[in-house]
A and B are shown apart, each in its own frame.
Chain A
Amino acid sequence: MLDLPGRSRPYLRRAYSVADARNDSGEVEFLLRRVGAGTALLEEIPPGTLAGLLGPLGNGFSLDGLVPGNRVAIVAGGIGAAPFPLLFEALRRSGLDADFFLGGRNAEDLSLAKRFAGIVPGETVLASDDGSAGERGFVTEVFNRRAAPGRYARLFACGPMPMFAALARIVAEIGLPSEFSTEAAMGCGFGACLGCVIPGREKPFLVSCTEGPILAPERIRW
């Protein structure tokens, strides 16, 4: 959860995935796309501005049970790619291969792919709604064409809820264990406001910030 001291608007912190973090330099990287007042403010601050950080919060992707030589799929919708640089690093260290499926509305959205140049231990596949870059179509369709049963040992995904809904059907069909990094408007980030709930199967609602944000799709009520 990030905020800037001394500002009165926006009032609440905003939740972002950590894209990368370096112990040696103490740097933490976030990938942002301007969508509202919170991101606009962060985009406009000059370098050197002091920001407040509350975190890390919530759970992380799991590589448990994967063994060197396994291949995983990573599916990202637009700025949903934000948490993946750190994951690619972890995959590489664990000797795992990964194909990266990045979708967006157009070529401009897909300029994000630059951040991933050279860090994907496998193939990078781009998809755009308008066909201006990569393959034409939703990233879920592009993934589905390549996702034969048994090809991948696990799927990691991050993006908007409609993308997750489509992806949940695909991974259920091919029996692919998956972890979705869910997105919901968060008021606090530590389980107090209960604003960021996601409809669940084992109970009415899962609290994204404390029980997630990473959830198995079969726990979500679509």
Chain B
Amino acid sequence: MTPLAVKLGPLELKNPILTASGTFGYGLEFTDFVDLGKLGGICTKGLSLRPHAGNIPPRICETPSGMLNAIGLQNVGVKAFLAEKLPRLRELGATVIPNVWGDLEEDYVAVVRALEEAQGLAAIELNISCPNVEKGGMLFGNSPQATESLVAKVRAATRRPLIVKLSPNAPDLVQSARAARDGGADVLSLVNTFVGMAIDPETAKPRLSFGTGGLSGPAIRPLAVRMVFQVARALPGVPLMGIGGISDLPDVLEFLAAGASAVQVGTANFREPGVSGRLVEELAAYCAGRGEPVSELVGRAQRAAAPVLKSGAQG
């Protein structure tokens, strides 16, 4: 293994820097800024069985150190993804991880089946945590029973490594994580966005047409780091991908220390489209400087003076 290579259960990646679903389009929007082949992986825009139009605008607004979005999972649909996006991504040497969502269990399974026939996909990421759609999405993630049932059905439909992206809005994240693992998830990615709201003080109307939106960016990083730490502590054998406001190398190191084996860069892609490639280089230089592979950086905070996380420390 090269110093940056990581292994998350059955999923082997050339490095631990991935891009988060919904913040990196289908990857092809970023070819002016990043060599896609250099990244640990690309989690695509959430794919549904049929094309999906998304929510009416306004869909985004800036908030302190971050943003709210209610895009509503606009996407081209799995067929168009396979026909129009995937061939080009493969040519560019990208490690492609389609993110999948649906209204019903059978929709998820149908998308995963369609992907199963395709070549050149590293894993599947299941989105059970989008807060910006009326059905599906977060509804699965907020109930451990629904999570386990859905993950088990998808598990049976794919031989590929299965990542489940957890919702920070679930009543008990550790329970969600356990349910996803018990359903057959190989890797957990956490966290998706936090449900938030912004109101125009003059008009007293919500700034987003959907009313609420998902909060992302540096504002959520301490929350996400705590959640990764907590799940890593509770489920030590389950490989994790950390997500939440990662913009610079220290943020990557923070998530690795908390117990993530890899990270996904999200909202930062909007402000600095080359950030993911930059972080791969900076992490390589950092590991070279320490003379240690990146795997040595995982879970250092767990090994260090372990803070006591009481079960009530979730709110």
Contact = CB atoms under 8 A, between A and B. Distances in A.
B23 interface: yes
Main secondary structure of the interface of A (DSSP, over half): loop
B77 to A, nearest CB: 13
Contacts of A13: 270-271
A3 B247 CA distance: 15
A65 to B, nearest CB: 30
A148 to B, nearest CB: 35
A195 B71 contact: yes
Interface in B48-62: 53-54, 56-62
Interface in B243-268: 267
B202 to A, nearest CB: 12
A195 to B, nearest CB: 3
Contacts of A12: 62, 67, 270-271
Interface string A180-222: 0000110110111111111100011100000000000000000
Contact of B60 (A9, A187, A199, A205): A187
Nearest to A54: B273
Given A12-B62, A13-B271, A197-B59, A192 B29 contact: yes
A135 B69 CA distance: 41
B29 to A, nearest CB: 5
Interface of A: 3, 8-13, 37-38, 54, 184-185, 187-188, 190-199, 203-205
A193 B23 contact: yes
Given A11-B67, A11-B217, A185-B60, A192 B54 contact: no
A194 B71 contact: yes
Contacts of A8: 65, 218
Given A8-B218, A187-B67, A192 B25 contact: yes
A171 to B, nearest CB: 23
Contacts of A195: 57-60, 69, 71
B291 interface: no
Contacts of A191: 25, 29
B269 interface: yes
A191 B24 CA distance: 9
B194 to A, nearest CB: 16
Question: 7 closest A-B pairs (Cβ-Cβ)?
Answer: A195-B60, A204-B53, A188-B270, A192-B25, A192-B29, A187-B270, A191-B29
B59 A11 contact: no
B74 interface: yes
A194 B62 contact: no
Nearest to A200: B53
Given A11-B65, A11-B67, A205 B54 contact: yes
B270 A184 contact: no
Contacts of A37: 62
A188 B269 contact: yes
B66 interface: yes
A195 B218 CA distance: 19
B64 interface: yes
**Most chain B CB within a 10 A radius of its CB, from A12, A37, A191:** A12
